[in-house]
Amino acid sequence: MTFTQLEIFVAVAEFKNFTLAAKQLGISQSAVSHALKTLEQHWQVCLFIREQNQTQLTHIGEQLLSHAKELLNTQNVMQQEIAAARGIQHGILRIGSFGASSSIHLLPELLQAYRQRYPNIEIYVEEGTDHEVAQMILEKRVDVGFSVLPQPKLHTFPLITDIFIALIPDSYAIATQSQIHLSDLKDYPFILTKAGSQPHVEALLKQHDIYPKIKYQLSQLLTILNMVNLQEGISIVADMAMTPEILALHPHVVKRPLIPNTQRHIGLAVRNEASMSPSTKAFIELAQKFFLK
């Protein structure tokens, strides 16, 4: 058994396709097939069920996958610690990012600063909802991820506080108010986000016994803005996602803070602090310097 065989095993399991796995690893499909055949012969088990274009893990394959990821992660950590001890910063950093809040507001400048300090670290960013990023961390598909706190199953590092705001058509009477009471929402058509903030928005409304007239349920932030701009309804979104540049493209939308003021806390999360790689530690430390001022 070799680490290369384990890497191929994990890649095929994630892509569920020999061709895509080979392309990702930069090797031939025949090399992928040969490595897996050798691994199955060594372990004397069948790892995959191959049916036409579908490749699915067997039960034992699913059990061994988590161990294979653990071994590869340990290998990566060891390589980085050896490199760090020699004064050479090499390695891989896989980051999970959710929605506009982290992908647009938090990540770009942080990545630029990190790249300047550690130019030899390979960086991969995988995006999803807040819940999906948490799963990526638990499944070791990423080393560290942005997350709305708390996350009881993960070790977290608080970074920044955000608030929820109302997006209001400028023709609505309440658009003239400096703040919007949640109770006012029941009188207007409502556009519910289906993106990562949906559970938080629904919990907020339920907490204050508010049941607005939901007219649309939309998953894309720009679509929500466009509908508000067309005077179709009010929406609640995270303030951090609303950059001045985006709002400037929607002249008939005003944003207002909510009463009561509703915050959410955003930080970085890892599966296990004790097993963090040097590149992950450096990323978290830099993020804390960036945002905990």
Cα(167)–Cα(60) distance, integer angstroms: 50
Say what the pLDDT of residue 90 is: 73
**Among residues 185, 250, 179, which one has the least CA distance to residue 215?**
185
Say what the pLDDT of residue 20 is: 87
Scanning the structure block, which residue is given the tokens 């988590």? 66
User: For residues 229 and 250, is the Cβ–Cβ distance under 8 A?
Assistant: yes
User: For residues 169 and 229, is the Cβ–Cβ distance under 8 A?
Assistant: yes
User: For residues 68 and 9, is the Cβ–Cβ distance under 8 A?
Assistant: yes
Domains and CATH numbers, the chain: 3-82 (1.10.10.10), 87-159+265-291 (3.40.190.10), 160-262 (3.40.190.10)
Burial pattern 239-256, b for ≥16 Cβ within 10 A else e, equals bbbbeeeeeeebeebbbb
pLDDT tens column, 236-246: 999 988 888 88
pTM for the model stands at 0.69
- CA 274 to chain centroid, in Å, comes to 22
Say what the pLDDT of residue 86 is: 58
Cα atoms in the Cβ-side hemisphere of radius 13 Å centred on 258: 24
Q: What is the pLDDT along the chain (293 residues), one digit of tens a residue?
A: 888 889 999 989 988 888 888 888 888 888 888 889 989 998 999 999 887 777 889 999 899 998 998 888 888 778 777 766 655 467 789 999 987 778 888 898 899 999 988 888 889 999 988 889 999 999 888 999 999 999 999 999 999 999 999 999 999 999 999 999 999 888 899 999 987 788 889 999 999 999 999 999 998 889 999 999 999 999 999 998 888 888 999 999 999 999 998 888 999 999 999 888 888 988 999 999 988 76
Cα(250)–Cα(12) distance, integer angstroms: 44
Say what the pLDDT of residue 125 is: 94
Cα(139)–Cα(74) distance, integer angstroms: 14
- CA 42 to chain centroid, in Å, comes to 36
**Among residues 226, 268, 231, 255, which one has the least CA distance to residue 164?**
255
Say what the pLDDT of residue 73 is: 83
User: For residues 269 and 155, is the Cβ–Cβ distance under 8 A?
Assistant: yes
